[in-house]
Every structure is written in C-alpha cells, then in structure tokens.
Chains A and B, each alone.
Chain A
C-alpha cells in the first residue's frame, strides 16, 4: 500500500468517522447537564457509609474496586512486558550500554546535581503524604506512586546511585512491584474470608477525617502506591540500561 493510497483511505475514513462522531455527540446531554443517578448516589454515600471524604477515592477503591484491580494488573503486565523485551535483549547485546563512570557523577550540570540532591527527600515525603491521604483529599495510590518514583529518579539525576545495604536496588523495586500487586489481590481475598465478598470491607471505618478511616481504602492505597512506584521505576531503569539501579561494587 503506497503512501498516497494510504492517505486517501485515511482521508475517507476520517471524514466518515468525523460525521459519525458529530452525530453521536449531538445525542449526548448538553454540556453541564449530566444527571446520571449512579454517580450522584455514590457521592452521597461516601461520607455516611464509608467515613471517607474523597468520593473519587472511595469510588476507585471501594465501590468500583474490581475495575481498579484490573487496571493495576494492566500496569503490572506492561512492566513485565518491558522487562521481557529489554532485559532479554541485553543478553545478546552487541552495543554495550553507556559505561558507568565510577569516579565522576552521571550528571554534569552542577545545577541539576544540587537541585536533585535538595529535592529528593522532600519529594519522597510528598509522595508518602499523597499516598496516605488518598481517602481524604485528592490523591491516592496512583498519583503518590508516581511521585515516589520521581524521588528515586532524582537520586539518579543528582549523579549518584542508590545504595541499599544487602538488597540490590533493582531487586527491591521488583519486590515492591510484586508486593503491591499481590497485596491488592490478597486484601480482596481477605474480604472473602472475613466479610463474605471479594474486596468487601473488613476493618472498622473509623471517624470521618482521620488518617485511619475509610476501612481498607488506606491499605489499598498503599499497595497501589508501592506497585505503581515499583513498576515505573523498573520501566525507567530498563530504558536507562539499569544504570541507576546497579549496586556500586558490581561493575
């Protein structure tokens, strides 16, 4: 199929699609007047039933928890896919990864190094805060997990490596990802064992507005935060040829 022919086919297809979209959008309720009853019902049940103040978090982890389980496993599978593609490639690699300079830091800009060093710890605290307060304010496991990932990436950008005593950092990140994914499923199974239905709540709900409230939602937030952090770090680590997740004495 030559390029011109492809453009012609695309032009016709796009024109048809645009017509269909316009016809479909005309049938939607006009902007701002959506009165879906399901969403309003969930919003009204958030505080009295679940004692949490963020309706979106409660919908994500409690009322529609099974959807989140599926999304979380898409994330897990994509990270495994990246691992399989890029790590298997490294075995028969004819192009070496960029060499690690042992004496000099990886980044050459002093501004980058100093800002990276200064911001790594505050961003870590911010990430933990966002994960922990997911059921009270905007935030939660997904956002906090990516913020936590950024904290560890800043360590790399600051020109140094992670040095965890015994575990290799890469192994720790993979363990974090696996723990998070399994944790969500296990909490769901705990719902079956202790409360009669998958992902049913089995902890007391607590008082509205407290950090420990909302039942299992904080636990699910933490497990999703661990998993997102581990998955994105593993992906970024593979794309960077594992340069920032290698133990210092290995090379």
Chain B
C-alpha cells in the first residue's frame, strides 16, 4: 500500500514524459511538462508524511503534537509558484516560435530553418 504514493509519482513522471515525446503542439508540450513537475511535488510530500501527524501549524495545537515534515512543504510551496512562471516563459517561447516558423508542431520546426 505504501507503494501507491511513490508509484503515482513515478507514473505521473512517465506519463508526462510520454506526452512530451509524442506531442504535436508546443503548447500541449508545456502543459505536459507541468504534469512532470507535479510528480516531484507528490513524491516530496509523500516522503515527508508521518502517520497520525497533522499539519505543522501550531496556531491551535500544543507544540508536543507530532507534525509532518515542514521542510518538504517549504520546498514544494515555493516550487509550485516558481515552476508556473517558468511554464509561462516556455509558453512565450512557443508563441515566439510560432511567429518565427508559422507552426506549433515540434516536428516541423527544424525543417523550416534556413
């Protein structure tokens, strides 16, 4: 049962990679990249989880209560926002490629050079 969490992370990585490899549209490719990014978030949080523990916010619980690991939550929450911005940068690269080559198909991009 514990393999389900890690297995889903690995599955998301492979499915996203498959989407990238078989993509015919640069925008579809960038969205598949966000799926690959999501697999790392799932893996990090699955590693940091502790059975019977609660969220690491001490506003209403005593400090002796077990909590899940806060360090992986730190890494993941900054990463979520930053990776979305990087995806926006890749989207603007796709828009620029369409302007230059007239197509969004990755297979055709190389052929039009020169």
Instruction: Using CB atoms and an 8 Å cutoff, list the residues of chain A in contact with chain B.
Output: 3, 6-7, 10, 14, 17-18, 21-22, 25, 28-36, 38-40, 42-44, 46-48, 53-56, 58-60, 64, 67-68, 71-72, 74-75, 78-79, 81-82, 85-86, 89, 136-138, 140, 142-143, 145-146, 209, 228, 231-232, 235, 238-239
Q: Which 8 A-B pairs have the closest CB atoms?
A: A31-B2, A39-B69, A32-B51, A55-B56, A25-B6, A55-B70, A78-B85, A59-B74
CB distance from A205 to the nearest CB of B (A): 15
**B109 interface residue, CB < 8 Å from A?**
no
Tell me the bound Cα distance from A21 to B15 in angstroms: 14
Is A7's CB under 8 angstroms from B91's CB? Answer: no
Interface of A is mostly: helix
Question: Assuming A59-B71, A67-B75, A86-B95, is B14 touching A14 (CB within 8 A)?
Answer: yes
* Contacting residue for A25 out of B10, B70, B93, CB 8 A: B10
Q: How large is the interface on B (under 10, 10 to 19, 20 to 34, 35 or more residues)?
A: 35 or more
* Contacting residue for A53 out of B14, B59, B71, B82, CB 8 A: B59
Instruction: Using CB atoms and an 8 Å cutoff, list the residues of chain B in contact with chain A.
Output: 1-7, 10, 13-14, 17-18, 21-22, 46-51, 55-59, 63, 67, 69-75, 77-82, 85-86, 88-89, 91-93, 95-96, 99, 107
